[in-house]
Structure 1
Amino acid sequence: MKQALTDALSERGYETLTPVQTAVTDPELGNSDLLVSAQTGSGKTVGFGLALGPTLLEDDESFGPAGKPLALVIAPTRELAMQVMRELTWLYGKANAVVTSCVGGMDMRDERRALGRGAHVVVATPGRLRDHIMRGSIDLSGLRAVVLDEADEMLDLGFREDLEFILEASPKSRRTLLFSATVSGSIAKLAKTYQNDAVRVSTIGERQQHSDIEYHLMSVANRDDEKAIINVLRYYESPGALVFCNTRATVNRLTTRLSNRGFSVVSLSGELSQNERTHALQAMRDGRARVCVATDVAARGIDLPNLDLVIHADLPSNSETLLHRSGRTGRAGRKGVSILIANPKALRKAARLLSTAKLTAEQGPAPSAEAVSAQDEARMLADEAWHTPVAEKESEGVAKLLELHSPEQIAAAYLRLYRSRQTAPEELGEPQPFDPRDAKAAFGPSVWFSVAGGQNAGVEVRRFLPKLCKVGGITKDDIGAIRVQHGETLVEIRKGSVDGFLKSVGPKMEFDRESPITQIDAPSAAQRGPKPKFKPKASTAPVDWNDDPAPRRKKPKAPTTKDKGKPKFKKRARPEDSRPEGVVTPLKKKGGKNLAPAVGKANSKKNKARRAASKNPSN
């Protein structure tokens, strides 16, 4: 390892390297291409920075004057690209490297000028880098290495064409390092096409996945989810916490509630501009904000210091998303906590996610108000201020307090002041075990009816329900389950409302003229309706289309053919005047009055005179 890189690591406090960093810096690898699979938060950025050192510096200890880029690092998102640039800047700082970025959302003219001044390493997003290549802003002829960071994410985001374009434009003699959390078929195909005899490096499976992260599954009562999040934040009092939501609307609502409760909070979602996102992340890094509420897409790839707590306000859709979210903490050897908040109905899904991800979580209720207060007291008693000697400038004030008040009064006053500065915890309800039969029991006794016509008649519940309420003289609260079968629709009606329902539909028992209604016994389990033809994929995530939307592309217009037939409006030829000379035949108006035929413009002087003459024939 180059001395400049060793010194940079020492100043940063690195005593040992992580497994992935050790693997990619193995001297036996030389300058071979690498296909690396490692979990999130394993120190990959510093790892490929160290691996590139011998390739870029060769026999030198520092870089020479900046010119054509020697290395390209391609990342899927702006935030990750900026994070990589910061990491490489301090890592290569003592080697006098110039590291610049080319990412979407930034001024392209500034980037072009920076490239013109020269750079040793360029960190970029695929789309923006392709634009610079096509405009001739960057010269890749001097490239020695290309790094694809989180290649699986880039393929998932649809950057395959951009990556292939960039790799085709790069020198064939380059060294290619491909980093991916998983090596799927598409990743293997990309590696086979653009890498030369790549060496496979994998650190996943050498130890338990996310062993530095402590998982908790906390059950809460219905509608207590946000209260539980407040108590969790108060219980741990982490210097940095990341709260994940599935939609932008949830991010906005939760951010507002936490801000109103006194938390220093920022948000990350697709509706924010690049400047707003940068300011939010900088506030977390500076310590001005301690909580960040974000969607999955907006938080992809970010690395925040002192991030010890991750809270899943909404459960992730699959185990991969769970691992990606949790990987924001417990990075580079630090310890972290990942907490899943689940109401009774969602507990089974949460347990399934943990099982699929091969994770073990401690299960229990969310911290109560009493538990938060007890934790506050423990933190207060463990404060280092109790062990700090009384300063000379403080002795006079201390003496006055002891003279005026007893020690008990001083301690009580301090305790009240300490608690007043903390956000009050929430009172939580007792979570009840979820039983699907509870919904049936809550609805009460019921009677089932069959309405002729179902899927074969195009019945849709959203249209069927209001019509049923109108025909039966009931409300939607009186209706339980609605099961649309192939040839009939089964409806559950509360027993207390059946008499009014029968009276409203009348003795003919008709939903409409072609749909009679029949009272039946409770349907069997086999009548719950057909299963969907296509089972959704397990990896399919709920998408917030406002976050990181796909670029709009104009659809090609269908070829149009001009209508060669008669025009829609055809000007009629004026018939020849067969009237005797000097005879004017008046025209009939809709009102019944005769008007002289208009010649030329309707409001010309001649036509006005003709109309006036027709009104006064005596003149």
Structure 2
Amino acid sequence: MTDFPHLPAALAEALSARGYDALTPVQDAVTRPELAGRDLLVSAQTGSGKTVAFGLAISAELLGENGISPYPDLPRALVVAPTRELAVQVSRELSWLYEKAGAVITGAVGGMDARAERRALERGAHIVVGTPGRICDHIRRGALDLSALSAVVLDEADEMLDMGFREDLEFILESAPEGRRTLMFSATVPREIERLAQTFQREAERISTVSSRESHADIDYRGVLVDRSDRENAIVNLLRLHEAERAIVFCSTRAAVTHLTGKLLNRGFSVVALSGELTQDERSRALQMMRDGRARVCIATDVAARGIDLPGLELVIHADLPMNREGLLHRSGRTGRAGRKGLSAIVVPLNVRAKAERLLREAQVSVTWEGAPTPEDILARDQERLLTEPALTEPATAEEFDAIARLLETHEPKQLAAAVLRHFRAARTAPEDVIPVSVGEGPKPRAREEFGAARWYRLSMGHDQWVDPKWLLPMLCRAGDLTRRDIGMIRVMQDQTFVQIHESMADRFEAGLGADRVMEGKCTVENLPGMPEGLDRPAPKPDRWSKTGDRKPYEKKPYAPRGSYGDKPAPKPHRKGPPREEGAERAPRFEKTERFEKSDRAERPAHPARKPAGDAPAPKPRKAAPWAREGGHGAAAKEGKPAPKYGAKSFAKPGAKPAGKPGPKKPRSF
């Protein structure tokens, strides 16, 4: 049993059972006795054991002097991870680390059953591991109480900020008690992480183990140059050449993951996909198939670039270039973990080699450039694997002696060897043909060739006639039966253009113009004795708004204070007529007209179309409506009888018997 004297006995026993001989640099740094109870800001490379590191760092808050409580109530530690896969992996790592101590770990992961998580939180937990969104949801609903929290861990804090979880992280940290311990773990520490640490941490200790060893020293980087049309074939040949126990291929988009997964499945590879469009159950199932060995290749987006630990992952292939240096390092960090060797192959089409080299320089990694594996290389590697095949090197058992003897009697050894070779190749995908590509030393800037002896010509067209070299070059070629190599510099000025023609083709150009020296009936060409002056300077910008080029330049007007007009006369007043003299009364704008008073209104003549009220005739009696029947609504009352009430009209037919009492209703039949 390995001795870890500065760690609790339960954790030391778990580490020894896991096969730990010594702690990694980041694990040793965070468990120093002088850092107990302090806030930490830790930056370490991927694959350095950060999950176990913060699990050991918060052991003092969880275990205490008397050990962990056997009856969990409110959580004592909270771990926040950016993705679901990383949160599940952290829960798995902390489970075996605190198994001997008896800690209860509960998840709060987006995509899982929220009701089951709430029931687990009600039963009690010592450690809660989850994603920012789901943790905030449980806090707002009252399912997660952080009043007894002693430590908060932010794993991959820079990734959570890049994914837009700043507000959620601030809400979680504000909901936690002020006296808690805050630990931030990240591969890089940008300015946003520093601002977050200054706001929510108290005198945090800065720990960095990135510079203690070379970045990804256990990873061999290979740059695979391919033709633009051979990207998928190169990926197939890389998988066939190395035949890694587990490999992961990174694509930039979900659509690319779906497309490449179908291609590899058709070629006989055991492949699973991992992208954001899958449900949590599908993503968990894909990772479990990789861990169990049922699948050997995983096609994933950058959702699997951080925190995912697949044991035995030997090969990482970048089907698409990552967006930045951090993406390259995190993708490649899935292999070469915990002291194991790994290979990171970057598939680079020829047209993006300069971009790939710039990305590698920013990441400060050295790469070996090579071409895509050819079918001959793969068949030669298969021959070496066949000779070391365990089925051929292991001794035969007693149960196999009879079958072996019978085979030797029936078939010749050469025929048996051919059968073994065919069986070996049938279990593998056939390699793909690729276009050979020269690796060389990378693209270099092409030097401009000297044009040589030439003659200069002046054309009577320039920017004023909207001359463009794009259409002027074909016109020159048509006029003198030239090629683009025979024409040198074309400098378009405001009202003229200077053209350089090679000396060997100048006579042909002049013969094509004819005696009038007019090109296509609209442009006059003049021969010049030499290079005009001023062409060694940049061409002037065209004045598109003037056809003559003599437009007056814009003159900025001097500033004049309000009320002053400089040399200009004062504006005329906005009034009609001569100006009013001083002391004169203002003339009225409108004259008053005579109006009738109230007493005079009776004397006003009446309107000719109106008649006095006394002369109006009496109204005529209103006739009953033609539809009003006797005894019906609207009919006049007869002598000695009251007027019928509203709705008293009878609709009985003439000669019908009076209606008696209603009898029983007959049942309706359907």
Q: Judge same fold: TM > 0.5, yes or no.
A: yes
Instruction: Give the aligned residue type for 1:33.
Output: D
Partner residue, 1:407? 413
**Counterparts of 1:47 and 1:129 in 2: how far apart (Å)?**
22
Q: Given that residues 69 and 142 in structure 1 are in contact (C-alpha distance below 8 angstroms), is that contact kept between their aligned partners in structure 2?
A: yes
Partner residue, 1:271? 277
Change (3 A) 1:142 1:525: farther
**Counterparts of 1:526 and 1:4 in 2: how far apart (Å)?**
77
1:374 deviates by 1.5
**Counterparts of 1:240 and 1:107 in 2: how far apart (Å)?**
30
Q: Which has the higher helix share?
A: 1
Partner residue, 1:327? 333
Residue deviations 1:313-345 (CA, integer Å, cap 9, x gap): 111122111101111111222221111111222
1:241 deviates by 0.8
Verify: 1:4 aligned to 2:3, yes or no. Answer: no
1:279 deviates by 1.6
From 62, 68, 71, give the equivalent of 2:74.
68
Partner residue, 1:370? 376
Partner residue, 1:513? none
Q: Given that residues 238 and 373 in structure 2 are in contact (C-alpha distance below 8 angstroms), is that contact kept between their aligned partners in structure 1?
A: yes
Q: Given that residues 222 and 431 in structure 1 are in contact (C-alpha distance below 8 angstroms), is that contact kept between their aligned partners in structure 2?
A: no
Change (3 A) 1:508 1:151: farther
**Counterparts of 1:426 and 1:310 in 2: how far apart (Å)?**
20
Instruction: Give the aligned residue type for 2:353.
Output: L
Partner residue, 1:579? none
Partner residue, 1:187? 193
1:140 deviates by 0.9
1:68 deviates by 0.4
Q: Given that residues 62 and 68 in structure 2 are in contact (C-alpha distance below 8 angstroms), is that contact kept between their aligned partners in structure 1?
A: no
Instruction: Give the aligned residue type for 2:168.
Output: D
1:357 deviates by 1.0
Partner residue, 2:324? 318
Change (3 A) 1:404 1:524: farther
Verify: 1:146 aligned to 2:146, yes or no. Answer: no
Q: Given that residues 305 and 327 in structure 2 are in contact (C-alpha distance below 8 angstroms), is that contact kept between their aligned partners in structure 1?
A: no
Change (3 A) 1:401 1:526: farther
**What is the TM-score normalised by the length of structure 2?**
0.66
1:389 deviates by 2.1
Q: Given that residues 61 and 76 in structure 2 are in contact (C-alpha distance below 8 angstroms), is that contact kept between their aligned partners in structure 1?
A: no
Verify: 1:385 aligned to 2:367, yes or no. Answer: no
**Counterparts of 2:133 and 2:278 in 1: how far apart (Å)?**
20
Change (3 A) 1:275 1:412: same
Q: Secondary structure at the match of 1:96?
A: coil
Partner residue, 1:545? none
Alignment map for 1:384-463 (pairs within 5 Å): 384-432=390-438
Q: Secondary structure at the match of 2:272?
A: strand
**Counterparts of 1:16 and 1:259 in 2: how far apart (Å)?**
42
Count of matched residue positions in the alignment of Structure 1 and Structure 2:
483
Partner residue, 2:488? none
Q: Given that residues 83 and 303 in structure 2 are in contact (C-alpha distance below 8 angstroms), is that contact kept between their aligned partners in structure 1?
A: no
Q: Secondary structure at the match of 1:297?
A: helix
From 120, 123, 126, give the equivalent of 1:120.
126
Change (3 A) 1:405 1:167: same
**Counterparts of 1:125 and 1:452 in 2: how far apart (Å)?**
65
**Counterparts of 1:423 and 1:199 in 2: how far apart (Å)?**
53
Verify: 1:238 aligned to 2:244, yes or no. Answer: yes
Percent identity at matched positions?
57
Instruction: Give the aligned residue type for 2:94.
Output: L
Q: Secondary structure at the match of 2:298?
A: strand
1:299 deviates by 4.2
**Counterparts of 2:304 and 2:187 in 1: how far apart (Å)?**
18
Instruction: Give the aligned residue type for 1:78.
Output: R
Q: Given that residues 72 and 123 in structure 1 are in contact (C-alpha distance below 8 angstroms), is that contact kept between their aligned partners in structure 2?
A: yes
**Counterparts of 2:330 and 2:462 in 1: how far apart (Å)?**
49
**Counterparts of 2:334 and 2:99 in 1: how far apart (Å)?**
26
1:384 deviates by 3.0
1:212 deviates by 1.3
Partner residue, 1:613? none
Residue deviations 1:402-456 (CA, integer Å, cap 9, x gap): 1112222211211111111111111211114686999x9xxxxxxxxxx999xxx
Verify: 1:341 aligned to 2:354, yes or no. Answer: no
Structure scoring higher RCO (CA < 8 A, sep ≥ 6) equals 1
The structure number with the bigger radius of gyration is 2
Q: Secondary structure at the match of 1:97?
A: coil
Verify: 1:256 aligned to 2:262, yes or no. Answer: yes
From 198, 203, 218, give the equivalent of 1:197.
203
**Counterparts of 2:185 and 2:58 in 1: how far apart (Å)?**
13
Verify: 1:36 aligned to 2:31, yes or no. Answer: no
Q: Secondary structure at the match of 2:303?
A: coil
Q: Given that residues 274 and 299 in structure 2 are in contact (C-alpha distance below 8 angstroms), is that contact kept between their aligned partners in structure 1?
A: yes
1:249 deviates by 1.9
Q: Given that residues 3 and 61 in structure 1 are in contact (C-alpha distance below 8 angstroms), is that contact kept between their aligned partners in structure 2?
A: no
Supply the RMSD in Å over aligned alpha carbons.
4.0
Partner residue, 2:219? 213
Show structure 2 runs of 5+ residues with no match.
1-6, 449-460, 471-491, 495-519, 523-534, 542-670
**What is the TM-score normalised by the length of structure 1?**
0.71
